[in-house]
Structure 1
Amino acid sequence: MEAVAANGMSGVQSVVTGATGATGKRRLEERSAFDKRLRFSVRQTESAYRYRDIVVKKQDGFTHILLSTKSSENNTLNPEVMKEIQSAMATAASDDSKLVLLGAVGSVFCCGLDFLYFIRRLTDDRKKESIKMAETIRTFVNSFIQFRKPIVAAVNGPALGLGAALLPLCDVVWANEKAWFQTPYASYGQTPDACSSFTFPRIMGLASANELLLSGRKLTAQEAGSKGLVSQVLWPGTFTQEVMLRVKELVAVDSLVLRESKALMRNTSRSALEQANERECESLKRVWGSSQGTDAILQYLQRGPELC
């Protein structure tokens, strides 16, 4: 790691290439033809498409936002992806959509932060970039906390890190039975994000939250359901159809009733969530701004992280 730091970006690139070259190529080769066809089909049929990393469909009564990243692999989140999601949510907040349905194209929901994107910038100017990264996450997470209409998450596949931590900020979470959930923060030298230090103990108890946030235990969809991270687990073969049927039932409800009902359940915790988000992002600035934090991410990439 010291040699990498001394060599600057060339060192980072060599580590990243070494860590992800062979495995990365294999992952790309292993992407199923079905997922590629589905991704192409969704993009081709969406006439109003105007984003790079997400697909937005204005449906009858709701806005459907799907992760379909081109700037990163496995639907990971970098500032560009986060800004696109925020933009789509801002539009949905002001139009006649009654709710937002958040999903993903392909077999992966979201593999958390795009560490390849982050590490290249951290090694350029660690202190400045760590502040910028943490502020981007703070703004992104606040867009979920402050969204006044219901957010429904349809988790079609693996959800890791930030992709899993965001789920308690959604109002309903339906998961494919094949989905799994993990927040392996310690393995890449990161502290919790997306208010998970507050929401996880609240919904599943301190012992279970510690097991997820500190040891990175992987949860099956059924386990996530039993712990309160998921509202309901749905059968894989009919997952999309079941989600759409349930969303249509929700949008049949009066929009004022939906907003007021959410406000009654969420307003008491909104301030606490914003404060938790602030604390977590301050912690991220300290961790990412340290040489230990940068080295931990590099080591994680060098080990060849288990991707979805």
Structure 2
Amino acid sequence: MAAVTWSRARCWCPSLLQVFRLPVAKLYLGRPTMRASQQDFENAMNQVKLLKKDPGNEVKLRLYALYKQATEGPCNMPKPGVFDFVNKAKWDAWNALGSLPKETARQNYVDLVSSLSSSSEASSQGKRGADEKAQESKGILVTSEDGITKITFNRPTKKNAITFQMYQDIILALKNASTDNTVIAVFTGTGDYYCSGNDLTNFTSATGGIEEAASKGAVVLREFVNSFIDFPKPLVAVVNGPAVGISVTLLGLFDAVYASDRATFHTPFSHLGQSPEACSSYTFPKMMGSAKAAEMLLFGKKLTAREAWAQGLVTEVFPESTFETEVWTRLKTYAKLPPNAMRISKELIRKNEKEKLHAVNAEECTTLQAQWLSEECINAIMSFVSRKPKL
């Protein structure tokens, strides 16, 4: 069986989606900060009929689910049988929206249709423009090859420390990778370091002062971590050297972490008057137990690659001499696996955790914003910047 052709499907507006090879994916497509009118919604339904290019089964499934949620609310149909592939995929998509409000679903439907409504040429130009923005970032390098999106921390002279602009560029890179034709996404670093965490001059160089930096930082951090929580494809870290701070805490959100035996893992939050982020206050105790997590998150214990493997933070450790060859050979093999099957499997593994992770991320960001404004944190950061101690 094959999917219905787009020429036929686009004539059959929101319930058009007779599809057979359909991934189950997270369908929260935007933030409920706007309110689309009923007329906007109806216009969007008409625009679907005019699309010149088949957007693909996954997008058609999203349109279907958002339409049903916007018009009927949460899924109210009995679950189809396991061999009723079409209706089961549609039911799964609608049911995955949970209690998303009708107004939000309507807005998300309008936003999605708007993003699809340009001509094929304009759409491809827009995508190239987005890709080029990420490619041209001074702090990260994004490449796509052999079914792999490779996102490289690329500030070797600064030990790959992350700037505010890099946060935005990585969010964009993950957004692009979530919908392109690559199969997995991989993070690694240029030079000796994987990543040394936040560039603390983010706080000292803000033109509006520390209050503005803290407010901006909390917003950017929450969106940044959410982009990892919601990323639908397999996400792999290739840790080529020392990792510090948020580059370590994020690893709890990856699907696999491969490390060179020269890598180390350090979260010196208390030394800097800060608190955990990237959901590590939840993921680390779950992975390694509360006592081992406290050693890292409270006391700043630095782990070797072997220690990180023993505590469940790292999937496998490789000798430095063969690290790159062995890891990338394996990843190219993974990228040949059926992509939809991996998406579905990841969704099944993670879907019961996502709500919890989003809640933890929000609480951590709120706590950090307050902590960044505390006297002890300000003093610790200023002391760090003036001394530039070795991490």
TM-score normalized by the length of structure 1: 0.81
Q: 1:56 to 1:200 in 2, by over 3 A?
A: same
Partner in structure 1 of residue 191 of structure 2: 106
Q: 1: CA distance between counterparts of 2:349 and 2:225? A: 18
Q: 2: CA distance between counterparts of 1:219 and 1:188? A: 18
Shift of 1:135: 1.1
> Which string of whole-angstrom CA distances, capped at 9 and with x for unpartnered residues, describes residues 146-168 of structure 1?
10111010000000010100111
| Secondary structure of residue in 2 paired with 1:64 | strand
Asked whether the equivalents of residues 151 and 170 of structure 1 are also in contact (C-alpha less than 8 Å), the reply is yes
Asked whether the equivalents of residues 126 and 290 of structure 1 are also in contact (C-alpha less than 8 Å), the reply is no
Q: 1: CA distance between counterparts of 2:297 and 2:306? A: 19
Asked whether the equivalents of residues 202 and 213 of structure 2 are also in contact (C-alpha less than 8 Å), the reply is no
Partner in structure 2 of residue 67 of structure 1: 153
Alignment length, in residue pairs?
259
Q: 2: CA distance between counterparts of 1:49 and 1:188? A: 32
1:47-66 matched pairs, under 5 angstroms? 49-66=135-152
Shift of 1:268: 1.0
Shift of 1:249: 1.7
Asked whether the equivalents of residues 137 and 166 of structure 2 are also in contact (C-alpha less than 8 Å), the reply is no
Shift of 1:220: 0.2
Asked whether the equivalents of residues 119 and 294 of structure 1 are also in contact (C-alpha less than 8 Å), the reply is no
Partner in structure 1 of residue 286 of structure 2: 202
Aligned amino acid, residue 208 of structure 1: K
Q: 1: CA distance between counterparts of 2:351 and 2:378? A: 37
| Secondary structure of residue in 1 paired with 2:283 | helix
Asked whether the equivalents of residues 187 and 300 of structure 1 are also in contact (C-alpha less than 8 Å), the reply is no
Aligned amino acid, residue 282 of structure 1: T
RMSD of aligned C-alpha atoms? 1.7
Partner in structure 2 of residue 18 of structure 1: none
Q: 2: CA distance between counterparts of 1:138 and 1:121? A: 19
> Which string of whole-angstrom CA distances, capped at 9 and with x for unpartnered residues, describes residues 25-69 of structure 1?
xxxxxxxxxxxxxxxxxxxxx9x9422211111112111111102
Q: 1:282 to 1:49 in 2, by over 3 A?
A: closer
Task: Say whether residues 1:141 and 2:225 are aligned partners.
Answer: yes
Aligned amino acid, residue 81 of structure 1: M
| Secondary structure of residue in 2 paired with 1:194 | coil
Query: Which structure carries more helix by proportion?
Result: 1
Asked whether the equivalents of residues 211 and 217 of structure 1 are also in contact (C-alpha less than 8 Å), the reply is yes
Which of 334, 347, 353 matches 1:250? 334
Extract unaligned runs of 5+ from structure 1: 1-45
Which structure would you say has the larger RCO, counting Cα contacts within 8 Å and 6 or more residues apart?
Answer: 1
Q: 1: CA distance between counterparts of 2:221 and 2:155? A: 17
| Secondary structure of residue in 1 paired with 2:206 | helix
Partner in structure 2 of residue 91 of structure 1: 176
Q: 2: CA distance between counterparts of 1:304 and 1:247? A: 36
Task: Say whether residues 1:227 and 2:311 are aligned partners.
Answer: yes
Partner in structure 2 of residue 170 of structure 1: 254
| Secondary structure of residue in 2 paired with 1:121 | coil
> Which range moved further: 203-212 or 238-247?
238-247
Q: 1:294 to 1:100 in 2, by over 3 A?
A: same
Aligned amino acid, residue 268 of structure 1: N
| Secondary structure of residue in 2 paired with 1:96 | coil
**Greater radius of gyration (CA):** 2
